[in-house]
Chain A
Amino acid sequence: MIGLRNAVLRLCLIALSLAVWEAAVRLFAVPVYVLPAPSGIFVALYRGIVSTLYVQNLWVTLYETILGFIAGTSLAFLLGTVVALSRRTEYFLYPYIIMFQSLPKVALAPLIVVWFGLGLTSKVVNAALIAFFPLMVNTIVGLRSADEDRVNLMRSLDAREWQIFWMLRLPGALPFIMAGLEVAMIFALIGSIVAEFVGSQAGLGMLVQTLNFNGDVAGAFSILLILSVLGLLLNQIIVTLRRRVLFWDASQKTAAHDAGKGVGL
């Protein structure tokens, strides 16, 4: 019952804040190029969807994001695994990892567009690059987190190293990996949007920029709305996947691991 009451209350609160917004814009006659009223945003949203302009560009951005996510996280998982299993590799790669990690990756977007052009490739590369680090760091931490007793148990059974990896280290790292994937998904979306800002022929990021240049702020806001819903859905996919994979992990009942923390853009 309390759940239902709260849900209704939540909807009321959203409706109320939209009403206040609408009233304030009308009351103080805020120019539409500064802050459009919610009604204007919804009209723009409706028009954009009906004209299929939004949908076409949404597919472009979604495609870039998913490809970038897959490319970035696969590489991150592979490299993270190699680093986690071999101290020697870590020793040689560590300076680069630290350097890249502290670098604001969005600052690379202009370079990447120069290198890979205005098309799909530069967006995928940028999305992959930004999605890469949270998963790599979490993979390393996760694979190294294997409990000493469990490793000893496996060794006492005369297990080979690859068996210890498959039966112990990898499943044990999954909480970290799933948390890393969650961050990486959102980061991939950010990566493709940023690359679209810098230079592109299609995509929601390009659309925001174009609408902004044309002074259609209500249009730009309607895209932001789409982007936040898109981010939410993508995140939800990973969260659902995580619940399935990590049914055994007690800590995931509380919240996402904060292993993704400290991984800036």
Chain B
Amino acid sequence: MSGSSAGAMSRGGLAIAGEVRERWPASVQPAIAARRLAKSYATRHEPVVALETIDFSVAEGEFLAVLGPSGCGKSTLLKILAGLLPATSGEASLRGTPIAGPRRDIGVVFQSPVLFPWRTVLHNVLLPADVQRLGRAEHERIALDLLSLVGLAGFEHRYPWELSGGMQQRVAIVRALVHDPAMLLMDEPFGALDAMTREQMNLELQRIWLERRKTVVFITHSIPEAVFLADRVLVMTPRPGRVAEILAVGLPRPRSLDVMSTPDFGVLVKRIRAHFNAQGGLDA
């Protein structure tokens, strides 16, 4: 079944992406460009296709949410963008240079905070500076600024296990920003948090983003989260992952949580949900 209908779907998606792209002048180079990106894993029987030809681009300073059901290959996509996994074919590039391996101008936030328990909050945040041998003194100032930006001033000498889950994830976000990367990759960063904390973190992230204007690729399987945070939402199909549609979210910023109960928000959510209803549901 998937052959023809999904093909039509991705063509539709490309058409919309095309419309959206027109909002930027053609001379501006996108921050991230993925061209015919594909990934399959070799197994004992036959190769498993995780990603099937993905095309998209993200403008400088844009917030792109990648939305899809579990197992659609969105984490694979993130690993490719982070340089942790080579693509089977196609190419992803960041500011015009292909992503061929880990790069120092990328910040990654994972599903769990991934903090080192033997380092204080401040030293966890300084990990990129330590690894990349950037000056500690200078980055300590940046780290402290960022920590106070996320409301963690005064916690810099605490240890991760003394913080709540939401605070730990904020530390992880600060760590991803401390070396001033060109792009922030976030892999379901709030998936492990309770619903209330998650909404707070969404507000927080929007605030940080409005202040820092990083290019963000944010992976999630929550439709409201994607619509709330993103400039555009890239909807992926279930396995193998393909672009179903790229949807522009025109809601004005800063968005408050109340935006979720507006008709415009509802229309976008409904439109995205239709993709998954047609294909066996989200989180199936």
Contact = CB atoms under 8 A, between A and B. Distances in A.
A3 B161 CA distance: 28
Interface string B105-146: 010101110101110000000011011100000000000000
Of the candidates A147, A158, A159, A167, the one having the most CB atoms from chain B within 10 angstroms of its own CB is A158
Contacts of B95: none
A193 to B, nearest CB: 36
B86 interface: no
A7 interface: no
A174 to B, nearest CB: 8
A243 to B, nearest CB: 14
Contact of B84 (A155, A248, A250): A155
B104 A157 contact: yes
Contacts of B106: 156
Given A155-B84, A159-B131, A248-B118, 20 more contacts: A149-B110, A149-B111, A149-B114, A150-B116, A153-B110, A153-B114, A154-B131, A156-B82, A156-B102, A156-B106, A156-B108, A157-B128, A158-B101, A158-B102, A158-B132, A159-B102, A171-B116, A171-B118, A248-B159, A248-B161
A248 B117 contact: yes
A152 interface: yes
Contacts of B108: 153, 156
Contacts of B110: 149, 152-153
Contacts of A174: 118
Contacts of A155: 84, 102
A207 to B, nearest CB: 44
Interface size class of A (residues with CB under 8 A): 10 to 19
B83 to A, nearest CB: 7
Nearest to B101: A158
Interface in B75-116: 79, 82-84, 101-104, 106, 108, 110-112, 114, 116
B1 to A, nearest CB: 35
Interface of B: 79, 82-84, 101-104, 106, 108, 110-112, 114, 116-118, 127-128, 130-132, 159, 161
7 contacts: A150-B114, A150-B116, A152-B110, A155-B84, A156-B102, A171-B118, A248-B118
A163 interface: yes
Interface of A: 147, 149-150, 152-159, 163, 167-168, 171, 174, 248-250
Nearest to B112: A149
Contacts, number: 53
A156 B83 contact: yes
Nearest to B105: A158
A152 B131 CA distance: 13
B118 A156 contact: no
Contacts of A168: 116
A244 to B, nearest CB: 12
A249 B117 contact: yes
Of the candidates A149, A156, A163, A174, the one having the most CB atoms from chain B within 10 angstroms of its own CB is A156
B113 to A, nearest CB: 9
B114 A163 contact: no
Nearest to A157: B131
B76 to A, nearest CB: 13
Given A152-B84, A250-B161, A157 B102 contact: yes
A157 B133 CA distance: 11
Nearest to B128: A157
A248 B132 CA distance: 25
B218 to A, nearest CB: 16
A24 B112 CA distance: 63
B103 A158 contact: yes
B203 to A, nearest CB: 25
A157 B127 contact: yes
Nearest to A150: B114
Of the candidates B83, B111, B118, the one having the most CB atoms from chain A within 10 angstroms of its own CB is B118
Shortest Cβ-Cβ A-B pairs, 8 listed: A158-B102, A248-B117, A156-B108, A157-B131, A159-B131, A248-B118, A149-B114, A156-B82
Nearest to B103: A158
A64 B101 CA distance: 52
A150 B112 CA distance: 10
Of the candidates A154, A157, A167, the one having the most CB atoms from chain B within 10 angstroms of its own CB is A157
A156 B116 CA distance: 15
Contacts of A156: 82-84, 102, 106, 108
A85 B117 CA distance: 23
A163 B116 CA distance: 14
B84 A167 contact: no
B142 to A, nearest CB: 16
B131 A163 contact: yes
A248 B106 CA distance: 29
A167 B114 contact: no
Contacts of A158: 101-104, 131-132
Given A155-B102, A158-B102, A167 B117 contact: no
A138 B82 CA distance: 33
